[in-house]
């Protein structure tokens, strides 16, 4: 972050994220075990063996 925003992320994470979670606007966990599952993407078909 730029020097003039020092601590800005910490402030956001500590004060804004909890409010968003209370309102149901920010997830508290992930539904899957992989990034693909988090985004609800299908698993690609296996490549044919040559």
Per-residue three-class SS string for the chain: CCHHHCCHHHHHHHHHHHHHHHCCCCCCCCCCCCHHHHCCCCCCCCCCCC
Query: Whole-structure pTM over 0.85, yes or no?
Result: no
Quote the CA–CA distance of 20 and 31 in Å, as a whole number.
Answer: 18
Per-residue model confidence (pLDDT) at position 25: 93
Per-residue model confidence (pLDDT) at position 8: 78
Encode pLDDT of 1-50 as tens digits: 556 666 778 888 899 999 999 999 988 887 788 888 888 899 888 888 88
Per-residue model confidence (pLDDT) at position 20: 94
The pair of structure tokens assigned to 4 is: 């003039």
């Amino acid at each position: 972050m730029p020097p003039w925003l020092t601590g800005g992320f910490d402030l956001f994470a500590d004060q804004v994220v909890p409010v968003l979670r209370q309102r149901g606007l920010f997830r508290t966990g992930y539904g899957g075990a992989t990034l693909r599952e988090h985004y609800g993407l299908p698993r690609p078909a296996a490549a044919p063996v040559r």
